[in-house]
Structure 1
Amino acid sequence: MRVLAALSGGVDSAVAAARAVDAGHDVVGVHMALSRTRDQFRTGSRGCCSIEDAGDARRAADVLGIPYYVWDLSERFEETVVADFLAEYEAGRTPNPCVRCNEHIKFSALLDKAVALGFDAVCTGHYARIEVDADGSRALHRSADPAKDQSYVLAVMGPERLARSMFPLGDVPSKEQTRAEAAARGLSVSAKPDSYDICFVADGDTQGFLRSRLGERPGEIVDTAGEVVGTHDGAYAYTVGQRRGLALGRPAPDGKPRYVLAVEPVRNRVVVGPADELEVAVVEADRAVWFTPVTRGPLACAVQVRAHGAPVEATASVLDDGSLSVAVGPGLRGVAPGQSLVLYAGTRVLGQATVTGTRRGASPVRPAPAGGRAS
């Protein structure tokens, strides 16, 4: 097959491309330039897709003996991933930019361009497995290494794009083995630190980034009784479940810590309260993407609401409008609108949706933020 290998400049994508070459595929490497700041460099192990990373990707391609190109997708990235990130926070929701990047960039813009150029598949360094069912359909599964599993952020891609994807690292038992393999192949990125945080916020200061784009909007922090207990520079900078950085002027009567329970963008207000108010019994979600046929009846599954969160046993129901109502077992708390909800059966991904609200029981924990979701 003709395979386009996405080379981020890190060790994972380099080893994935090497494995594709070993499998006998006709491989071409491409680095996606996503930053409009051409002199951007990584700070420590933060960020990705910088000038430094492009150079590392080129050197990896040279070692592998494959053609290498840089594709400028910065405008598409800004108009989709960054714009969605800002719009979601401004609307009081908590987005996952890695999910949106996989949706709009890696398995949309990149894959569509690859197919148009005659490639059969896109190869990435994600840790996830693809298994082929008896009927020939492909299923997305968790990786062999639970600590590195990235099926959560890949679930948004859907079955059509999965059919043209390759994840050669899905069966690798540990990141240490990936690094050892890279070193044995003579790849200079074998000891390169992992990137983390949000790639377009290279210094890790998410609140500072939001403030620079959205401006300061001072408002009140209130408790569940409506009493003012502090102030903020912008409600958009807070997320449900947050404890640190609240700087409350009045302690709780019982002396216990308080957490963000709701973000109200219209009022520009943040509501805080005790930890037990974060407990969730039902999660509501929309914009579902399914890897299996949709059933109207209750579906026993496990759900995950964070990239590195623990799965929780649940029962999901598809409503008449296509949205989901998911009754979850104990232990799930602090779920924010905008988060990605992924449904599993064992290691297999069943589907993905975007959280719109939660309930503690028969009555809502908090009202859904006003305004429609940004596309």
Structure 2
Amino acid sequence: MPKESNVTEDRLHIQALVPLLVLSIVEYEVFTFSKATVTAANQDAWLSILIGAFIGSIFVYLFIKLAARFPSMNYFQYLQIVWGKPIGFLISVLYLLFWVSFLSSIFYETVLINKLLFLPLTPTIVPLTIFALSLIWLVSYGLIPIIRFFQLLLPFLVIPLLFLGLLFLVTIKIERFLPVLENGILPVLKGSYLFLGAYQGPEVLLFAAPFFLRIREGVKASLLAYNLTVFLGFINTVAAIGILCVDNIKEAVLPGINVVNLLELPGFPVERFGLLLTLPWLIGIFTTLAIYLHLLYSGVFQLFKLRPQKWILFLVTAIPVTIAYFFPNENLHEVLRLYLTVFTVPMVYLLPVMTLLLAIIRKKGRVR
């Protein structure tokens, strides 16, 4: 397996941050988080997203500032410099546990999608094995090949979703967004929190920073990538409210699929638009699994001073796959997703900003 310590020989241009962040953030929940956001804010969920996007953009900007202080190190490496070895090690272990839970949830969602949309009679172990083996093959080559793979897949994710957004415009009913702020601002703020919680992924740039040339110049690319994913989520939520209405969203299992199935364009040569959502959905799930499996794998051998070996990758992959296989039911999965959403804000957003503030106070890392 190629050693990533040779990254200085093959660093990526800063523009590669766009596919990395877009495909790290977009996954199963981005197409269903409208349910949680709408449950909190009702028809004002669109406002929750705008507020959450502004807050999230500030966090992404600060992430670049943090990465720029330690341009040749990843997040786990300078956590122990900034916080001290015991606390830094403990925080890193918390991330590993968080990623195991997150990966277990997404692996389980691959089974759900297969049952709902593709091959409902196929045994659970089949899609799990296919995903696991293909991910092991990709992750074994290291982060740079993963990012280059993301660059190839980005158009197949974004173009169908943007086209769907155009189709939604002719079907949305404006009256379903009224009255604005019917229940005040607090539900909107709660919806903003849930929006941020649905967007795991921006912290990936803290681990990928050493693989990029001049990471300090990555503000524009990072903000572009983050807000592109926000725009895709915004389209999905506005369409869900304007087509399904709030009450139907709360009762739906997969609002994104329901919205697409209701699209009717008389005279249009295509009658079913499911592929425009399911293809990006599968791409989003696979790429998110790939990047987080890489982070989990590299984090394990980095924290515990192990040599990168394939048997470790197989073992690390087997843990979330096994959890997903023995997951008892969809209700428990929804509970896990809710906890992950709640804990994403402190783990993904607040801890890196606290690390930046502490690094500034303790004068750690580069100032410029």
Q: TM-score, normalised by structure 1?
A: 0.22
Q: TM-score, normalised by structure 2?
A: 0.22
Higher relative contact order, structure no. (Cα contacts within 8 Å, ≥ 6 residues apart): 2
Q: Which has the larger radius of gyration?
A: 1
Larger relative strand fraction: 1
Larger relative helix fraction: 2
